Structure formats: structure tokens, C-alpha cells
């Protein structure tokens, strides 16, 4: 029995998966909401993740009564957890959606050179990445920076509490801006230029590698058995891709949660010279992946509901949206509620409805949001075509794959046959599969995914809808430049 643990933004989820790849039990524990004392700030207390992890693990063990063979971890990426020499947390973690570090990004590009930084790390400096957050602390809280001895990401802090080991996988490390992604090792040049001692950085492992064991103190806190092996795991996008079987070049997933991600496996590191896509190490040893990110995907629908229809179910809203025609009678939504990553790399981008008329109903607004999020994710497919990244088909995941309307919209907007899985259990499921490979339950991730992942449905988009959305996408692409002219 393999335990997968996902340290998300809103909560921690624990799942148990057996040797047949079947989900046996799951449990969740909520986190306190992240704090945002100033616009663009987002902070969480790492101790709260550890509390939630203990609760979720104890609950899932109580439900199943199973003995765990191995543990895998995943979670929200990019967060900066700063510890002193004794392993104590020095300040709340600046998490993935914290965007206060524009000045630090500019400093890195001036100091290292934007093209050189992409050459070294396969990515430009963005406010989401861990390194920029460390530089902000150095500038604004030098007394804390001076006490740093260890830097971890969220799931790796929970691993530290479970095992006493400072470790990180190369997929997660790709999102710190401190990794030489092509060679799967820390970048000495970037660390030196940024003034980050390499001694702060944890030992690196491939995702299925055993890197630690459950400690006696953690066993007492969680109910796990001391000495249980713990694999390196992966960030939520890497583990989520494993959980959907996105392992081979040509395999692609489009996942809509709070944010939206289009993820493609590649055989070699494929850099976008303009840095519009993230290029990371894959959780699969010896492979890489590229991904585009829409900051406010599912968040756009939640924002609309909370603003114009509080208390209304999503099912009711999407039923209204289904009464509006393909293309929402010309109404467009750009989902830039949190700025935008792909393709604009603009933390100051602003969301908008464009083309409103007196004939538009609430159903039109909802449908326009569903379509606008899909258009935003299509921007990543456009970049894939530009860079020669193959797409053989798409697997849909996250909340955006749970309702038939949004599935159909996505398939038609992307223009590819799209698979729906029998059970899409998210990153925690992928982390459990990584644990199973680490414990030799399966010889490799390909075998694990063959055992665990089944396709329930394939959507073949209607040609008429594909054509209508192709026209709508042309209009969508004109909105951002116009908005930029207004908002600067």
C-alpha cells in the first residue's frame, strides 16, 4: 500500500493506492487561508501544513487500517520556506501566487542577463519562482535573511518534519530558478550571481528515488511506521502528470484547477527563447516537460459565481451556460484576474469582459468565462506548435474536466481528441505511484501508469464548433494588446 500526500494551497490530501493501482482511501485537511496583507502578497505558515499533514495521514490510516509500504509527496510549487540552522521556520512562506517580486526579477535579468538566465535555468525570472522571493527577503528583511541555513519548498518542509531530512526532487527544483534544468543539478553560476549559498540548497533526487525514512517522532505524530521509506516525489504539476499518464513525448494534459496548466512531456529540454513556457525536469527520470500556466482558470469561474450568483451551484451555472450558443454571441472573457504567465509574462495584466450587449444573459457570462479560460490555455498549444512540440492528443483533468460542457468546450477550442480518465485523482495519486516505483512495487512509472490509469471517454470535437472557436480565438488574441494600452 502506497501513501501519496499532496500539500496544496487550500489543504492537504492523503491517498492510499494498492499494487493494482486502485485508490483505496483518501482524506483531506484544510489549511488556514493564505494571508495577503498587501496587494500581490500571499503567505502561509509552514507549521499549518504540518498540522494538516498529520491530520490527513491519521484519518486515511484510520479508514483503511493499512500498513504503508512507502510514502510519496507532492504539493504547491515555488513557495520559499526559510529555516535556521536548527530547522526552525524563520518567517511565513511566500507561496506560488505571491507576485511582489517584480523588482527582484528585473535585478536578476540585469545582473545575469535574461537570455543567459534562460540558457542556465531554461526559464526567465518570474515573481512566482522561489529565488525571487529569497531576494525580496534579503532586501526587505535582512535580519531574517542573515539567519537562513536551509531553503525548501512546501512539500519538502513536510518531508523534513516527517524524516528530518533536507531533500528535494529535480522536478520541484526546476521551479526555484536555481536549477540547471538541462543537467538536473543546482546551477552554481545562478546561485553565486544571486548571492545564495549552495549550502542552503537541499540534496537533489529523481522523483521515484527513496531519499529518507519516517522518523520515530513523526511515526508518533502520524501513525506511520518508523523507517518507512519516503521517495523524493514531485511538485503538483509533475506528480499530477504522472497521475494522468503524461509520460511520453507527444502526451499532453490540460488541467483546470484554481490555475490552469497545459503540460507536455518531452525527450529533451525544449527552451522557449522568450521564456513564455516553463521548461522543467519531468518526474520521469531522464525526461523533461514544458508547460504553460493560466493564473486564474477555475478561479475565474469561482470569482464570477461569488460576484453575481453567490450560493448558486456550479452545476446550475453551467446549465445556464449551455443555453448560450457556441461563442457566447461574441462575448469574450480574458482571465487575467491575477495577471498572467503564459504567454504574456505580465503580472499587471487585467481581466475583462469584452463585447457586452443588452442581449447577453447570465448564461452568456458564464459560458464566456468557460470559453475564455479555454482560449487562454490554447495560447500554450499555439506556442507548442511554434516550437515544434508534438501533440498526439490531450487528457483533460481537474475541476474543468468534471462537467460535460467545459470538457466539450475545451476539446473544440484546442482542436484535439480529448480523453477523460475513469478516475482522475490528482497529484496525490501520482505521488503514490512514485512511492510504488520507489518501493519496487512496479519496475518503472510506465508500468505503474499502465496498472493505474484507464480512459473512460474520448471526446471528438465537432468540426463546426472547432471552426467557430478558431474564429473566436482570433478575436480573443486581440484583447490583451488593447487592454495593455489602457492599463499600461
Smallest CA-to-CA distance from 448 within 470, 465, 431, 460 is with 431
Contact (Cβ atoms closer than 8 angstroms) between residue 258 and residue 295: no
| Contact call for residues 11 and 154 (beta carbons, < 8 A) | no
Q: Say if residues 238 and 79 touch (Cβ distance below 8 Å).
A: no
Between CA 474 and CA 264 the distance in angstroms is 24
Q: Which residues contact 361 (CB under 8 A, 6 or more apart)?
A: 320, 323, 324
User: In a 10 Å sphere around its CB, with 0-12 CB exposed, 13-18 middle and 19+ buried, how is residue 315 labelled?
Assistant: exposed
180, 236, 272, 419: the catalytic one is 236
Residues with Cβ within 8 Å of residue 18, at least 6 apart in sequence? 1, 2, 24
* Cα–Cα–Cα angle for 300, 303, 309, rounded to 5 degrees: 125
**Dihedral, CA atoms, 466, 470, 471, 472, nearest 10 degrees?**
90
Cell triple for residue 42? 500571499
Q: What backbone phi and psi angles, to 5 degrees, belong to 319?
A: -65, -40
Distance CA 150, CA 162 (A): 16
Q: Is 236 a catalytic residue?
A: yes
Which residues carry out catalysis?
236
Amino acid at each position: 500500500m502506497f501513501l501519496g500526500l499532496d500539500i496544496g494551497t487550500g489543504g492537504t490530501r492523503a491517498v492510499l493506492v494498492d499494487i493494482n493501482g486502485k485508490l483505496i482511501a483518501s482524506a483531506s485537511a484544510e489549511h488556514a487561508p493564505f494571508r495577503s496583507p498587501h496587494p500581490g502578497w500571499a503567505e502561509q505558515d509552514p507549521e499549518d501544513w504540518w498540522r494538516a499533514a498529520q491530520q490527513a495521514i491519521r484519518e486515511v490510516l484510520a479508514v483503511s487500517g493499512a500498513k504503508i509500504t512507502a510514502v510519496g509527496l507532492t504539493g504547491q510549487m515555488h513557495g520559499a520556506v526559510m529555516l535556521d540552522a536548527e530547522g526552525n521556520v524563520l518567517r511565513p512562506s511566500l507561496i506560488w501566487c505571491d507576485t511582489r517580486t517584480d523588482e527582484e526579477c528585473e535585478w536578476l535579468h540585469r545582473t545575469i542577463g535574461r537570455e543567459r538566465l534562460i540558457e542556465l535555468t531554461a526559464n526567465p525570472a518570474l515573481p512566482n519562482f522561489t529565488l525571487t522571493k529569497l531576494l525580496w527577503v534579503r532586501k526587505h528583511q535582512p535580519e531574517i535573511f542573515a539567519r537562513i541555513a536551509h531553503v525548501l519548498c512546501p512539500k519538502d518542509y513536510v518531508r523534513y518534519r516527517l524524516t528530518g531530512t533536507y531533500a528535494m526532487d529535480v522536478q520541484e527544483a526546476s521551479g526555484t530558478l536555481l536549477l540547471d534544468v538541462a543537467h538536473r543539478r543546482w546551477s552554481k553560476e545562478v546561485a553565486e550571481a544571486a548571492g545564495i549559498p549552495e549550502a542552503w540548497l537541499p540534496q537533489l533526487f529523481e522523483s521515484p528515488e527513496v531519499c529518507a525514512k519516517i522518523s520515530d517522532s513523526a511515526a508518533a505524530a502520524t501513525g506511520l511506521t518508523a523507517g518507512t521509506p519516503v521517495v523524493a516525489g514531485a511538485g503538483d504539476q509533475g506528480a499530477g502528470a504522472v497521475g494522468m499518464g503524461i509520460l511520453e513525448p507527444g502526451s499532453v494534459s490540460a488541467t483546470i484547477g484554481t490555475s490552469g496548466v497545459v503540460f507536455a512531456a518531452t525527450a529533451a529540454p525544449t527552451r522557449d527563447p522568450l521564456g513564455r513556457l516553463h521548461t522543467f525536469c519531468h518526474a520521469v527520470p531522464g525526461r523533461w516537460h514544458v508547460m504553460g500556466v493560466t493564473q486564474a482558470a477555475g478561479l475565474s469561474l469561482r470569482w464570477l459565481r461569488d460576484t453575481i450568483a453567490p450560493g448558486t451551484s456550479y452545476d446550475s451555472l453551467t446549465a445556464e451556460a449551455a443555453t448560450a450558443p457556441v461563442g457566447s454571441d461574441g462575448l469574450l472573457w480574458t482571465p487575467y484576474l491575477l495577471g498572467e504567465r503564459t504567454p504574456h509574462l505580465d503580472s499587471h495584466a487585467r481581466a475583462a469582459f469584452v463585447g457586452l450587449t443588452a442581449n447577453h444573459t447570465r448564461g452568456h457570462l458564464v459560458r464566456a468565462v468557460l470559453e475564455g479560460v479555454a482560449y487562454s490555455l490554447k495560447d500554450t498549444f499555439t506556442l507548442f506548435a511554434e516550437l515544434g512540440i508534438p501533440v498526439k492528443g490531450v487528457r483533460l483533468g481537474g475541476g474543468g474536466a468534471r462537467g460535460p460542457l467545459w470538457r466539450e468546450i475545451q476539446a473544440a477550442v484546442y482542436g484535439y481528441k480529448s480523453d477523460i480518465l475513469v478516475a482522475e485523482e490528482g497529484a496525490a495519486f501520482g505521488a503514490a505511484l512514485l512511492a510504488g516505483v520507489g518501493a519496487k512495487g512496479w519496475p518503472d512509472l510506465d508500468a505503474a501508469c499502465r496498472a493505474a490509469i484507464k480512459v473512460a471517454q474520448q471526446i471528438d470535437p465537432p468540426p463546426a464548433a472547432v471552426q467557430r472557436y478558431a474564429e473566436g480565438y482570433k478575436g480573443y488574441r486581440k484583447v490583451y494588446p488593447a487592454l495593455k494600452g489602457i492599463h499600461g
